Structure 1
Amino acid sequence: GIMGLPWMSYFEGSTNEVPEAPYAIPFGQARVVREGSDLTIVTLSQMVQKAVIASDELDREGISAEIIDLRTIVPLDRAAVLASVRKTGRLLIADEDYLSFGLSGEISALIAENLDTVPLKAPVRRLAVPDVPIPY
Structure 2
Amino acid sequence: MAPFEAIYRVGRDILERLVNPLRADEQISQFTLSVPEAQTTTVDSVQGERFRPPAVFRCPNCDADIHQQQPLSDADCPKCYRTFDQWTTDDLELVRMTCPRCESEMKHGRRHPKVFDGPEWASCPSCQYHWDLDHWF
TM-score over 0.5 for the alignment? no
Q: Which has the higher contact order (CA 8 A, sep 6+)?
A: 1
Higher strand share: 2
Higher helix share: 1
Query: TM-score normalised to the size of structure 2?
Result: 0.24
Larger radius of gyration: 2
